Amino acid sequence: MLKNKATIVMFFFMLVFGLGQFFWGEIISANGGRGWDGRGYAQVALDFHKVVIVDKLTDYFAQRFVPSAIIHYTLKSFTPTISNELLIKAFSIYNLVLLLICVLLWGAIARELKLSVKGQWIGFIGLFINFAVLKFYFYYPILTDVSAFCLTLAIVYMYLVDKPFGLLSLTLIGAFTWPALLPIGLILFVFPKHIQEPASLNKIFRWLISFVFAGLVLACVIYVNFIKTYPENEGMYPFLPARNLSIAILILYAFGAMYVFCNNRFLYSPGYISKNIRFERLILAAVIYLLFLFTIESLSAYKTGLFGLSIRNLFYYGIKIPFVFAIGQIMWHGPTVILIFLYWKKFVDVIHHYGLGLVLVVFMGLMFSFSSEARHSTAFFPVFVIFLVKALDELNWQKMDIGILGGISLFYSKAWMKLNADFPDNLTREMTLEFPWQRYFMHHALYMNYQMYLLQGVFIIAAFVAFYFIFKRRLVAV
């Protein structure tokens, strides 16, 4: 896959940076380097048979055990006992190897999309030069985020080169790595790539569809905020004086995004749908999904209410403070998210060009963007970046433009920032809002305190203005 100089440079950048983080980077201090969710993954990695087969898991961990299983059986082939330090190092190495594979996958995807060298670098910056990749994945290694990131890139590649068996195989692995990968993979399997230029939809219908979508979002917001009650918690409860404003912003965001997104009259044509769908694959996908549900039921000791939790994340925590969902996505995935906002129409046109499957996946990603916990978008973000770059590759990018984008992205990644604090065992939600612990929790918008909300908001507004004048106003198609 190392077929051009750009990919080689990207690969060695990630290798050198990753090795630097491995040897000299900080590791989260909470719970001996396991963090919080990482405790569950660590237990699986230490004794897979007992935890998964004998004691069984929650339905949450039953959909995320594959990376821990890989670590467990890899280490057991070398040593009978697994220490906590060895476990952390193993996850760190595993994540670095996956990130290197991700770079290679990006190079392969870029070639398949026939991107220019400048486009390849824009994509590399968007995918890799952000807080999630340069800081969080090394800082908090015992998680499944990197596996999900890598599998998404691999699934998209299989989709583009039309390898249904490979796509389905990766989807099955993803089903027990990150929950969103199963619907993503099955949708792209059932609706393979179908190149067709979109056709504009009548504005009246676009308004109607957007009103209906925004109305459904509003109904969900009303239900989870005014009908369903949750225990009040300072670190997570919406800021009530601005709640109505937060709701209005989310509804306007949903309406505006959908007004552009639904602009393809072919989407509503039975003939177009029949051209996109593979009915034999639909039957197989249904069987696979039923087997998946049976497997999760067999592996789970009890349910955690994942669907309800997802609704809560999208429509309750997503309005904690005005624009919190946007701040969370930008601070986590980097300022490339701003380019998605600024070039939403060009991005949507490219998505429609590839067929119904990609349209449905991006629609799911749009829904997940409502969440203030940007990690939930881990499996969707690569899809957005890949086809955003395809949309922007025709613009007259200069080397200085790419340098500016890379420099700002590197600054926002906070790879230079110390996160660690002495996390106590009895850490409360209220404590997460205070320093020094806020150094870590400010990156999870759900746990930002109001001071960090304002400070990060100012930096995002500045980046929006800069990107508008540097890129949106100046770059034109060539």
- When pLDDT is cut at 50, 70 and 90, the band that residue 3 belongs to is low
Cα dihedral sign for 174, 106, 328, 138?
positive
Answer whether 0.75 is exceeded by the pTM: yes
Q: What pLDDT sits at residue 234?
A: 45
User: Which pLDDT value is given to residue 441?
Assistant: 93
**Average model confidence (pLDDT) for the chain?**
93
Question: Could you tell me which residue, 158 or 228, shows the higher pLDDT?
Answer: 158
Segment 337-361 mean pLDDT = 97
Full DSSP string of 187-250: HHHHS--------PPPHHHHHHHHHHHHHHHHHHHHIIIIIS-----TTTS--GGGHHHHHHHH
Report whether pLDDT(18) > 90.
yes
Instruction: Find out whether 356 and 273 touch, Cβ atoms under 8 Å.
Output: yes
Please report which confidence band the pLDDT of residue 236 belongs to, taking 50, 70 and 90 as the band edges: low
Q: How confident is the model at residue 369 (pLDDT cuts 50, 70, 90)?
A: very high
pLDDT tens-digit map of 425-437: 888 888 888 899 9
pLDDT of residue 34: 95
| pLDDT in the model for residue 173 | 98
Query: Which helix (H) or strand (E) is 173 found in, with range?
Result: helix 164-175
User: Per residue in 97-127, pLDDT tens?
Assistant: 999 999 999 999 999 999 999 999 999 999 9
Residue 12 has pLDDT above 60, yes or no: yes
Query: In the chain, what percentage of residues exceed pLDDT 90?
Result: 82
